[in-house]
Amino acid sequence: MEHLNTIITGTGSYIPSVRISNSEFTRQTFFEKDKSRIDSPGEIVIDKFRDITGIAERRWVREGESNSDIAAIAGREAIKSAGIDPETLDYIMVAHNFGDVLQNTIQSDTLPCLAARVKHTLGIRNPSCVAYDIIFGCPGWVQGVIHADSFIRTGLAKRLLIIGTETLSRVVDKYDRDTMIFSDGAGATVVEGVKSDQKKGFLASATVSNTIEEAYYLYLGESNAPDSNPNIRYIKMHGRKIYEYSISNVPQAMKAALDKTDIPIGEVKKILLHQANEKMDQAIVQRFYRLYGLRPDVSQVMPMNIHELGNSSVATVPTLYDMILKKQLKDHEISDGDVIIFASVGAGMHINAIVYRQ
């Protein structure tokens, strides 16, 4: 029996060259949201931060680099990896949250949308190649792949470029400890409809949106610094609430996706989870397996690059996937036939998961 499969045929990423180590924050003065100064020595603040998040350094873009620029670089690499003519793309979807933000400004620029800018930068002339953005918090790239599968199965598209990109260094409040979490980067995939006798590629998905109490767990707010301009706003979050929400709800969404297939959890080789916080991600995977009565070796099933790259929002999952396929992540590999799960959680609050056979 012939199947129409949704397959990722090419991957690419852009990891900025500027490394910002934790030590660079030792002399930074931090304040709480109530404007009170955090008096703990910088070394103690940083040690506690690393213990919780696992982050030792992060990557930030250089001055002159924009979000759409790095998206185009990752996209070009994915196109080359897939070995396709970019003029044959039916769609370009770019997932992000803040558009292009110029150095030393905090204004988001999405006119035109980033996907249109990427199409322009790539020099694609085909007017039937539709370019649009996805604003879905950190799960944006995963949601883009879910869109792609729907488009392929309904005959709306055969070949798509899905990019997750962000320059969070341009929207952080340097007086807020959470600044140390955020980073920049871009990851891209070419997704195609491919007919085969075997069922592979995209197998199932699940998406959840909770927007009552949870809607503003991530938001834009004024600087934590006293006497700051209340009209200038930066990315803010209620970290404890996000943690509790995520460990309670992400495992359920992952299970909902896996249970749509006939694949036992023992066949899942890797879980590529949004690189948000090491302890949170570990707890999510542990709770996911606990739903099946199992206790996994989390270090084997869940690859991580957050230690060196930080949290680049929508870019974390496709960047992680690209690094593994290109054997750039020690002790982890994905082979043909392996079952993997892509999953993410973020602003909205939104959660999604995809079960995928390589």
Tokens of 177: 């400890």
d(CA 237, CA 221): 9
Give the Cα separation of 142 and 129 in Å (integer).
20
80-130 residue pLDDT tens? 999 999 999 999 999 999 999 988 887 899 999 999 999 999 999 999 999
**Contact 67/103 with Cβ under 8 angstroms?**
no
> What would the two tokens of residue 61 be?
């873009």
Model pLDDT, residue 41: 79
Q: For the chain, which residues score pLDDT lower than 50?
A: none
Question: CA 26, CA 39: separation in Å to the nearest integer?
Answer: 12
Reading the block at residue 119, the tokens are: 């199409």
Q: pTM value?
A: 0.95
The answer to whether 176 and 223 have CB atoms below 8 angstroms apart is yes
Q: Give the per-residue pLDDT at 152.
A: 98
Query: Cβ(92)–Cβ(165) under 8 Å?
Result: no
Give the burial string for 30-58 (b: 16+ CB within 10 Å, else e).
bbeeeeeebeeebeebbeebbeebbbbbb
Torsion of CA 277, 282, 288, 290, to 10 degrees: -150
Q: Tokens 């957050």: give the residue.
A: 306
Domains recognised in the chain with CATH numbers: 3-196 (3.40.47.10), 201-357 (3.40.47.10)
Other CB atoms within 10 A of residue 71 CB: 32
What does the pLDDT look like over 262-284, one tens digit per residue? Answer: 999 999 999 999 999 999 999 99
294/281 Cα distance (integer angstroms): 17
Q: How many CB atoms lie within 10 A of CB 64?
A: 8
pLDDT of residue 42: 77
| pLDDT at residue 330 in the model | 87
Report H helices in 217-315: 239-258, 278-290, 298-301, 306-309
DSSP SS3 for 168? helix
> Is cis: bond before 112, omega within 30 of 0?
yes
